[in-house]
Amino acid sequence: MRIKTFIISSFVVIVLYAFTNITTHQSKSIFKPPSNFPEPVYNFEQNPVTKAGFELGRYLFYDTRLSGNYKISCGFCHIQSDAFTQHGHIVSHGINNRTGIRNAPPVMNLAWATSFMLDGRAATLDEQPLIPITDHVEMDCSIDTIIERLQPDKVYRSMFKKAFGSSIITEQNILKALSQFMLLCISANSKYDKVMRNEGETFTADEAAGYEVFKRTCNGCHKEPLFTDYSFRSNGFNIVSAEDKGAFNITQDSADIYKFKVPSLRNLVYTAPYMHNGQLYQFKSIIPQYRFYVENNPNLDTLLVHEGKRGFDMTDKEAEQLEAFLQTLNDSSFVNNPALSEPDIQYKADIF
């Protein structure tokens, strides 16, 4: 009887110890928000960012086995050197060179985002990857197919066990790992950030003057320090695709026609082309667009209309100063961070 009791007690202790180890491992979050940023909105209690989870997410982000034809990864449309956008295309190109209708937004500072995709169709970061993975134009695959491909891989089984305590690959853990990688794609080391954190940098006279112009004009939508308020607005840009009506495609509310999520102004030097449909090719085209070419529509944002005139009123000198300030938002360390770059994945697209 004592032996039986001892065995049962020992088993309970072992189970509790193992559970405690897994829980403790998963809860050691390595996410550290920049000191000049607000509190993130992502629910880290449900998915704390661990070193193992982040590294697993990095492998998944760059793995072409997440696409139907083994050739497209998340990193195909979100290229690090372009601040995780897709340079060279007006709109994104996906599997078999199929063409989308929108410009790929950057993967950047997503812990503070309140919704995802340019029309807000994804409510949480954890569910967002399902949209491109299953989309016919983008990756044209399924989670079940991905699991079938990855489960036999002993490296992935080991990585999933280290990150989540089980070598069984599941949809939930794939999405959590992808989130952990994207949550650490933080851009907060620009000249602007260093000035705000008193790290020895100072604005030039033109940059400081441009900052004042920014606060008078752009800051209504592009709130500091993330330089977006994550709202959906119509910016009066010319309509290229009648089928893409922005948030209206999701809400079916006429008040949302041609409203798109406000993008961040960070890293503009890396993220051309610009606008949701990629119709502005050069950085120097952005400010003139908002000075001279704002078009009217029933949902045009009121912040773009001043005394009955559309667009922002500023002098050429102020426009140059504003441009100088926007250049301070570029973060070269973000686009060159080796921790965010493609790992040495065993399976490459060209072998299929």
Binding-site residue set for heme c? 74, 77-78, 218, 221-222
Any residues with CB less than 8 A from the CB of 112 and at least 6 apart, and which? 37, 38, 40, 41, 42, 226, 230
- DSSP characters over 270-325: TS-SBSTT--B-SGGGHHHHHHH-PPP-TTB-GGGEETTEES----HHHHHHHHHH
CB-CB contact of 106 with 264 (8 Å)? yes
* Angstrom distance (rounded) from CA 74 to CA 54: 15
* Angstrom distance (rounded) from CA 111 to CA 44: 9
Binding site feature residues: 74, 77-78, 218, 221-222
Burial of residue 181 (number of CB atoms within 10 Å: 0-12, 13-18, 19+):
buried
Question: What is the dihedral angle through the alpha carbons of 221, 224, 226, 232, rounded to the nearest 10 degrees?
Answer: -10
CA 201 from centre of chain: 27
Provide long-range contacts, Cβ within 8 A and 24+ apart, for 223-228: 225/34, 225/36, 225/37, 225/38, 225/188, 225/192, 225/193, 225/196, 226/37, 226/38, 226/109, 226/112, 226/264, 226/266, 227/264, 227/265, 227/266, 227/329, 228/261, 228/262, 228/263, 228/264, 228/265
* Angstrom distance (rounded) from CA 209 to CA 212: 5
